[in-house]
Amino acid sequence: MTEPERLILVPPPDFRSREAGSFLAQMDDLSKNLTEETRDLTSEALEWQPAKGMNSIGMLLAHMAIVEVFWTAIVLENRAPDAVPYADILGIGEDDDGMPIKKDGIPPANLAGKDLAFFDDLLDRARAHLRSVARALADGALDREVTKVRANGQVRYLNVRWALYHMLEHYAGHSGQILLLRHQWKARHPDS
């Protein structure tokens, strides 16, 4: 008889806010699952597109790290969008994921030939930054509202809780895309 599977999610004990810790525990679990499902991907697979104008797995991984840093900075740290320290945290800039890709575009040259270790490092750096900021949040800080104005002038009101939720759902959505692209890659390249 096999051991029963334990699917237990516990917020990290070192977070001031158990709720903020719960969001991080959920994001970490998604990251663990995505990591397990992508270990067999080569640099070629990470660059592959089903067609021009479509995102590659590498682009999506870089994008996930960039977006995590963005929301951490502009909401949790209440920075201005032009003051997000992408290069300091990730070593790449906000546009280095090549997204949004042009209609007939290909992945950006700066991601060419990058292996899983490169993308793992980006995601790890983004998560370490989020963790360091979120760890200090008190429960009441999740209710803090911020006002952000988009480039088109649209005003948006959001709170820290929503930003944590959005990072979680953003990560989950792109993880699904990555798994679909991985499946398509494997179907077209069965010997890889």
Percentage of residues in the chain with pLDDT exceeding 90? 91
**Is residue 149 pLDDT above 90, yes or no?**
no
**pLDDT value at 158 more than 90:** yes
Q: 68 vs 94, 127, 167, 168, CA distance in Å?
A: 11, 7, 6, 9
What is residue 7's predicted lDDT score, i.e. its pLDDT? 86
| pLDDT tens column, 114-123 | 999 999 999 9
Give the contacts of 102 (CB within 8 A, at least 6 positions apart). 53
> What is the pLDDT averaged over residues 58-82?
96
Contacts of residue 16, defined as CB under 8 A and 6 or more positions apart, other chains included, come to: 135, 136, 137, 138, 139
Higher pLDDT, 129 or 8: 129
Give the closest residue to 49 by CA, choosing from 108, 1, 135: 108
Q: Is the pLDDT of residue 150 over 90?
A: no
Question: pLDDT averaged over the chain?
Answer: 96
Q: Given this model, what pLDDT does residue 168 score?
A: 98
- pLDDT at residue number 106: 96
Domains located in the chain, CATH noted: 18-183 (1.20.120.450)
pLDDT for the residue numbered 184: 97
Mean pLDDT of 166-186: 97
